[in-house]
Amino acid sequence: DTGVSQNPRHKITKRGQNVTFRCDPISEHNRLYWYRQTLGQGPEFLTYFQNEAQLEKSRLLSDRFSAERPKGSFSTLEIQRTEQGDSAMYLCASTDPGGSYEQYFGPGTRLTVT
Amino acid sequence: GESVGLHLPTLSVQEGDNSIINCAYSNSASDYFIWYKQESGKGPQFIIDIRSNMDKRQGQRVTVLLNKTVKHLSLQIAATQPGDSAVYFCAESKAGTALIFGKGTTLSVSS
């Protein structure tokens, strides 16, 4: 499968714990995006990278959230001191550098904070 | 076929009907628009996109219409099938940056 992959698919954690998610974009896609989606809502933008540079961060990305893309390939999203309000689906997407703006989404990581 | 003028959270149609899903976007500076289909527990799946220099674009059984005057986007699905049942989202962006998603519409197709 050459699509966007995300791991883990599901994560259950206790409030106050740290969690880290991984996203592997489609090979050679230079832009990588993170979104968060809560039940019944559309995805909300968190941040995006062009290669290893983080170009934009949403106000939704509080100090407890950090994202990296150290080598311009895979990316990680870490949430520190998780809160129940962090429970959501975390989606990753990537874009072909050839001029198309279409964002290809992965299957998401479902986070449940108890 | 079913047609709605304003955004509705749900749309129910019979198999074989044509469906029209509407969306209002917010940013006059947006130059790229896209429709996604999302099934339960899955990530959004690309359906069709359109740039602001176009008014209409057709794909296989789907057509997107863009009205920049009133900032309105619509998705037309011809001969709707049960497999089309899902939540549909429109989204806008400026030059390939963050996508801003609209409110979803749940399409239910009965056979």
Q: What residues of chain A lie within 8 A of the CB of B102, using their CB?
A: 42
Residue A42, chain B, CB below 8 Å: the answer is: yes
Position A61 scores a pLDDT of 87
pLDDT digits (tens, 9 = 90+) for B28-59: 999 999 999 999 999 999 999 999 999 999 99
**For the segment A4-18, what is each residue's pLDDT rounded down to a tens digit?**
999 999 999 999 999
8 Å CB contact of A4 and B43? yes
Regarding beta strands B56-58 and A88-95, do their DSSP bridges make them parallel or antiparallel, or are they unpaired? Answer: unpaired
Chain A nearest-CA residue for B101: A42
Which residue did the predictor score with more confidence, B95 or A65?
A65
Minimal CA separation from B96 to chain A, in Å: 5
What's the pLDDT score for residue B8?
82
Instruction: Dig out the tokens for B29 from the structure.
Output: 């500076």
What's the pLDDT at B4?
36
Using the predicted structure, report yes or no on whether residue B79 has a pLDDT greater than 60.
Answer: yes
Chain B touched by A48 (CB under 8 Å): yes
What share of chain B in percent tops pLDDT 70?
95
Asked if the C-beta of B32 comes within 8 angstroms of chain A's C-beta atoms, the answer is yes
Q: Do B89 and A43 touch (CB under 8 A)?
A: yes
Put simply, the answer to whether B43 touches A95 (Cβ < 8 Å) is no
Q: A81 phi and psi, to 5 degrees? A: 50, 60
Pairwise CA distance, residues A51 & A28, whole Å: 9
Question: Inter-chain contact B34–A105, Cβ cutoff 8 Å?
Answer: no
What is the per-residue pLDDT for B6?
56
pLDDT at residue B50, rounded to an integer: 96
Structure tokens at B62: 């789907």
The pLDDT value given to residue A58 = 93
What's the rounded mean pLDDT across residues A24-40?
94
Scan for tokens 């989204």, then name that residue.
Answer: B91
Of B42, B46, B101, the CB nearest to A102: B46
- Distance of alpha carbon B61 from alpha carbon B75, whole angstroms: 10
CB pairs A-B closer than 8 Å: 55
Categorize the per-residue pLDDT at B3 as very low, low, confident or very high, splitting at 50, 70 and 90.
Answer: very low
Residues A52-110: tens digit of each pLDDT: 999 999 998 899 999 999 988 999 999 999 999 999 999 999 998 776 789 999 999 99
Q: Residue B82, preceding bond cis, omega within 30 degrees?
A: no
Burial readout A57-88 (b: 16 or more C-beta within 10 A, e: otherwise): bbeebeeebbbebeeebbbebebeebeeebbb
Q: Which residues of B touch A91 (CB under 8 A)?
A: 43-44
Examine the pLDDT at B1 and tell me if it is beyond 50: no
